[in-house]
Amino acid sequence: MAAVGSGGSTAAAAPGAVSAGALEPGTASVGETGRGRAGGGAHRRLKYISLAVLVVQNASLILSIRYARTLPGDRFFATTAVVMAEVLKGLTCLLLLFAQKRGNVKHLALFLHEAVLVRYVDTLKLAVPSLIYTLQNNLQYVAISNLPAATFQVTYQLKILTTALFSVLMLNRSLSRLQWASLLLLFTGVAIVQAQQAGGGGPRPLDQNPGAGLVAVVASCLSSGFAGVYFEKILKGSSGSVWLRNLQLGLFGTALGLVGLWWAEGTAVARRGFFFGYTPAVWGVVLNQAFGGLLVAVVVKYADNILKGFATSLSILLSTVASIRLFGFHVDPLFALGAGLVIGAVYLYSLPRGAAKATASASASGPCTHQQPPGQPPPPKLSSHHGDLSTEPFLPKSVLVK
């Protein structure tokens, strides 16, 4: 999980670079200060770029799936799209590992033999999360095919709740009062949106089943929360690059996706063909799933938790506006209220755990310089990845080293 950092705290620093917070106040030279200012400007630009990437990828995937699944004409098999995304993602990671080995096939073969076969226990550990992720991908197609894109985007934020609960149960994590309150707010907002949907918010195509969509999205959120926490639990302390983990997950994902294809739609695929119903829009969905998540894995280390929460909020707004224009989605006061509660809950949950306490302490004690008493060591810095449940509140599973 080294590729996922919150504010750069857990991402490995580049050679010769100084990570944020590495220098104590007063220790930087004049030259270092100048370089730090230049680096700070570059870091801010990277944060804005990462924000744009997160918003666009998060919203475009849902909108593109909805668009491809509601087009008139032959409908493609969702199981084949899941398999193709895994294949393309695995091949991309293989090429990236090949480039890391400077194009040396022998070195790549030896590396993969050591990482995949010799360390087979670590490889087999990925089978369970890969199975869950494959199930989750198929459930997302079912959910988006039966729910408006904006409704799905709001409801899918329940994965924050499921991830938090599984983290408390499986990793013995603790939540602050603010985080518990935000989770309650999140659940309330989703419930309001679903009540609006059940009440018949706008016209609905005859071939869509909102009940099936709700069951699929809830099951997807449960699988997402469990897989992410399980992934962290079994691989904590293990080595391996983000591309190697993605390649291993891609291998399992492809095999398990083919099994799911055979079980669910094998007869129909054999009769009509693997690429039946594929259009440029469908290929756009497959490419977005395959490469969008990998792109997020690259830029996410430049985004802190607040930026991730802000990106989620913007994605909900973007999906809603696009749904109005593309699909004739109707926003009524009930949906606006529920979506507003979810956006607020995501923001509150993404706040650093010490923010509320620091604010309260500053208000009670008045202005202070926060200087360390002489002879006292500085307080230890908490890892924002392993100690904060909001590290992965909304990103696709590919960022979890998939």
Geometric angle at alpha carbon 141, from 136 and 145, rounded to 5°: 145
In a domain, 376, yes or no: no
Q: For 63-86, how does the pLDDT look when each residue is reduced to its tens digit (9 = 90+)? A: 999 999 888 888 999 999 999 999
CA atoms within 13 A on the CB side of 194: 19
Q: For 223-252, how does the pLDDT look when each residue is reduced to its tens digit (9 = 90+)? A: 988 988 887 787 666 666 778 888 888 899
pTM of the model: 0.73
Q: For 19-52, how does the pLDDT look when each residue is reduced to its tens digit (9 = 90+)? A: 333 333 444 444 544 555 555 677 777 777 878 8
Domain boundary among 287, 302, 317: 302
Please determine, for residue 304, whether its predicted confidence score (pLDDT) is greater than 80: no
Same domain, 318 and 268: no
Binned at pLDDT 50, 70 and 90, residue 327 comes out as: confident
Same domain, 98 and 138: yes
Give kind and range of the element (H or E) at residue 32.
helix 30-70
In 301-322, which positions are buried (b, 16+ CB within 10 angstroms) versus exposed (e)?
Answer: bbbbbbbbbbbbbbbbbbbbeb
In a domain, 232, yes or no: no
pLDDT score at 246: 86
Same domain, 262 and 318: no
**What are 49's two structure tokens?**
């770029």
Same domain, 152 and 266: no
In a domain, 211, yes or no: no
- The count of residues in the chain is 402
In a domain, 231, yes or no: no
Same domain, 138 and 278: yes
In a domain, 308, yes or no: yes
Same domain, 245 and 132: yes
- 20 to 9, 242, 245: CA distances (angstroms): 8, 22, 27
Same domain, 79 and 139: yes
Same domain, 139 and 263: yes
Same domain, 139 and 245: yes
Q: Using N-to-C axis directions, what is the helix angle for 177-198 and 210-235, rounded to 10°?
A: 150
Q: Which DSSP state fits 398?
A: G
In a domain, 358, yes or no: no
- 9-13, 364-368, 376-380: which range is least confident on average? 9-13
Same domain, 246 and 286: yes
Same domain, 318 and 173: yes
In a domain, 402, yes or no: no
Closest Cα partner for 24 from 275, 381, 304, 269? Answer: 381
Would you give the distance in Å from CA 375 to the centre of its chain? 43
Closest Cα partner for 242 from 13, 3, 12? Answer: 3
d(CA 102, CA 83): 29
**Structural domains counted in the chain:** 2
Same domain, 127 and 175: no
Note down the domain range covering 163: 148-198+304-352
